[in-house]
Amino acid sequence: MAAYNAPLRDMRFVLNEFMDPARLRALPGCEEMTPDLVDPILEEANKLCSEVLFPINRSGDEEGCTIENGVVRTPKGFKQAYDLYRDGGWNGLTADPDYGGQGLPRAVALLFEEMMCSANLAFGMYPGLTHGAIAAISKHGTPEQKATYLHKMVSGEWTGTMCLTEPHCGTDLGLIRSRAVPAGDGSYRITGSKIFISAGEHDLADNIIHLVLAKLPDAPKGTRGISLFLVPKFLPKPDGTPGMRNGAMCTALEHKMGIKASATCAMSFEDAVGWMVGEPHRGLAAMFTMMNEARLGVGIQGLGLAEVSYQNAVAYAKDRLQGRAIDGTKHPDKPADPIIVHPDVRRMLLTMRAQIEGCRALAMWTALEQDVAHRHPDAAEREAADDFVQLITPIVKAYLTDVGWDATALGMQVLGGHGYIREWGMEQYVRDARIAQIYEGTNGIQALDLVGRKMGAHAGRYLRRFFHPVLSYIEAKSEDEALAEEFILPLSKAFGRLQSCTAEVARRGMGDPFEAGAAASDYLRLFGITALGYCWARMAEIALQKQDGEEAAFYKAKLATARFFMQRILPQTGSLASQIMAGGKVLKEMEEAAF
């Protein structure tokens, strides 16, 4: 009964109106990124996602992956869908044309990623890890490694993984036990066990390229002793085709709450042949290229699931008849009014919509800065854009996945008992959404990264990349009568709270790191809501200018949603600020034995 179609009008709004399209087209390689070129790409992407990927989402969840003698098979229809995805060139949208990619900007590819996450998150896990592996090899690999692997991975003929976690350690990677012994010919022999490896084994591609963290025999202790190795499932022959099977095997599939059609594998490496990527003992730095890509991608997973849950909640709310509107009958020709007339249903739907559209704008802003960081000819511009991406990455990962969890739960709530029943599809979105708050660094870890690393980086330089444009905007628009009272004043109050809390958390953290940790999660959420408030003020400004034009209905709805955000969501910054200012004493004073 569920359905999905990409929100193309809103996607075009953030791409062509909210974001500065001239700034994007000024970048080398992006000169032709006009609506005439991009719109057909988005329309074809929607067809693939709504007509091919979405119809196998529920069946894939029910069937799941299977393993027999180390061979993993994906659910019915997944191989055919992957072939269509690969043959359509979708895997190489942003990849380097030198390796067969299309070289499109991240800002365009992000919208396709959102569609894929809405339509079939489990399917999207397979190419998603490949993109991160491509990024790591492109930045840190040798010329020979690039020549051997990137063409195949960009085309989608081969896929990639990220092998970090071990049974005894997750976030604390300094504890890993996997070992890499030099073989004397430039290669290494990798031995160890990894768990929770997404797409570690499957039947979609001809080869799987594992990027594995391991330690050399002379490695120093801790994270400074980690190296990164490229370990293919099949060793490539001189002609580039898959050859002999390597010592990398899937020993088990995890039985999970959600994303059941994604093969989450326990992997065993036994004297597997591998090659170092990057420098010895610098593997974690190289892997962070992949992890940062993955963290932004996981944020988009939360956004995608929130969107599809919202669409189906709206459809149900307009169709389901239940009671009469409390302020008078709205549909006298029907035996009851549809539930969309009820205040609490409207509250839930508007909460979902305001968060989704705000998150989409923040994600697009981040994607544009990624493009500037990679493409701009001026080093200072690249640095400024990369600073912003570094700062916002933990916020996008954590805030958008929190929104995904909250929105899918609200979507299920709108359907009431039917939302809890499998046939309507809503409960799957809740189950699928939960993992996004956990993997690629839990949201608590993202908050610690924001407070412990990003806040003080380069004497606050990262923070200034966000604070300065927001403050400049508030100052420039504070006298604008159309914007000031409804949008700029609430934003100014929230931004003031963020500034005060930033200073206080930094001050307390210098004396007691526990204080910074105690504030971290609330601080990240305060930052995220304020960032969305800025995005919504800018979107409201655009909508005000166009609300009487040809698409009046779209812009009036945008304004109404902006007002809801400013009045019902942005005020949450007040309570968050109070929680932050309360300090960490209440968390510390409970005796451990009393828990």
User: Is 359 domain-assigned?
Assistant: no
Q: Which of 140, 175, 205 is the last residue of a domain?
A: 140
Residues 120 and 183 in one domain: no
Cβ 60 vs Cβ 120: under 8 Å: yes
User: Is 325 domain-assigned?
Assistant: no
Residues 101 and 186 in one domain: no
One-letter identity of residue 468? H
**Which CATH number characterizes residue 126's domain?**
1.10.540.10
Short-list 171, 176, 198, 177, CA closest to 254: 198
Residues 543 and 576 in one domain: yes
Residues 132 and 194 in one domain: no
Q: What's the Cα-to-Cα distance from 99 to each of 174, 275, 276, 391, 436, rounded to whole Å?
A: 34, 20, 21, 30, 31
Beta strand ranges found along 328-427 (DSSP E): none
Q: Which of 265, 281, 297 is the last residue of a domain?
A: 281
- Give the total number of structural domains in the chain: 3
Residues 579 and 505 in one domain: yes
Q: Which residues contact 179 (CB under 8 A, 6 or more apart)?
A: 190, 191, 192, 214, 215, 216, 217
**Which pTM value belongs to this model?**
0.96
User: Is 249 domain-assigned?
Assistant: yes
- Annotation says 440 is catalytic: yes
3: left (phi over 0), alpha (psi -120 to 50) or beta: beta
Residues 562 and 484 in one domain: yes
Short-list 122, 131, 155, CA closest to 53: 122
User: Is 320 domain-assigned?
Assistant: no
Residues 79 and 202 in one domain: no
Which residues, listed in sequence order, are joined to residue 190 by a DSSP beta bridge?
180, 272
Collapsed DSSP state (helix, strand, coil) of residue 542: helix
Q: Which residues contact 553 (CB under 8 A, 6 or more apart)?
A: none
User: Is 543 domain-assigned?
Assistant: yes
User: Is 115 domain-assigned?
Assistant: yes
User: Is 427 domain-assigned?
Assistant: no
Catalytic residue among 440, 504, 589, 592: 440
Residues 450 and 573 in one domain: yes
Beta strand ranges found along 418-468 (DSSP E): none
Residues 13 and 126 in one domain: yes
Residues 111 and 176 in one domain: no
Unique residue bearing structure tokens 């604008």: 480
Collapsed DSSP state (helix, strand, coil) of residue 393: helix
One-letter identity of residue 21? P
- Backbone angles phi and psi of 269, in degrees to 5: -110, 120
Q: Which of 260, 281, 302 is the last residue of a domain?
A: 281
Residues 70 and 191 in one domain: no
pLDDT tens for the chain, 595 residues: list them.
Answer: 789 999 999 999 999 999 989 999 999 999 999 999 999 999 999 999 999 999 999 999 999 999 999 999 999 999 999 999 999 999 999 999 999 999 999 999 999 999 999 999 999 999 999 999 999 999 999 999 999 999 999 999 999 999 999 988 867 777 899 999 999 999 999 999 999 999 999 999 999 999 999 999 999 888 888 999 999 999 999 999 999 999 999 999 999 999 999 999 999 999 999 999 999 999 888 888 778 888 999 999 999 999 999 999 999 999 999 999 999 999 999 999 999 999 999 999 999 999 999 999 999 999 999 999 999 999 999 999 999 999 999 999 999 999 999 999 999 999 999 999 999 999 999 999 999 999 999 999 999 999 999 999 999 999 999 999 999 999 999 999 999 999 999 999 999 999 999 999 999 999 999 999 999 999 999 999 999 999 999 999 999 999 998 999 999 999 999 999 999 999 999 999 999 999 999 999 999 999 9
Domain boundaries, position 171: 158-281
263-294 per-residue burial string, b: 16 or more CB within 10 A, e: under 16: bbbbbbbeebbbbbbbeebbbbebbebbbbbb
Q: What's the Cα-to-Cα distance from 89 to each of 12, 55, 103, 105, 333, rounded to whole Å?
A: 22, 21, 12, 15, 51
**Which CATH number characterizes residue 173's domain?**
2.40.110.20
Short-list 199, 278, 277, CA closest to 233: 199
Residues 135 and 186 in one domain: no
